[in-house]
Amino acid sequence: MASRIQRNLLGLPLEPCSMQPKTGFFRSGCCDADERDLGRHLVCAQLTAEFLAFSASRGNDLSSPRPGFAGLAPGDRWCLCAARWKEAYDAGVAPPVILAATHEEATEVVERTALLAHALDAHSLN
């Protein structure tokens, strides 16, 4: 993983997204940015039933268990590909975002205003 300090959308050190289930490209619990992560799993989201159905309809079934993966449920937090979150946003089914755990590089794919508008931790902006 990159040795530089990973920063969130608030400009602070990146906080964990979820340790249970353990998320992130490296399953570190964080939405770390790294050149090896071609999918750019940078957006920490709290999953909704609508988003999970949308993702499955796009060929990425996050709900169904399979070997090494228990499957996700509404309410779980997960590091999503920034492009998939934007696709869901454009379709009107984007899940809420946790700013403190979303990597600042997500704004290279998604408008910052869209992420802020979907923030669960918007109080962090004050």
Residue ranges of domains in the chain: 1-126
- pLDDT in the model for residue 3: 57
CATH architecture of the domain formed by 1-126: 2-Layer Sandwich (3.30)
Q: Return the DSSP state at 110.
A: S
Q: What is the mean pLDDT of residues 97-116?
A: 97
pTM: 0.93
Rounded CA-CA distance 68/65 in Å is 8
Is the pLDDT at 7 greater than 50, yes or no? Answer: yes
Cβ burial 3-16 (10 Å sphere, 16+ → b, else e): eeebebbbeeebbb
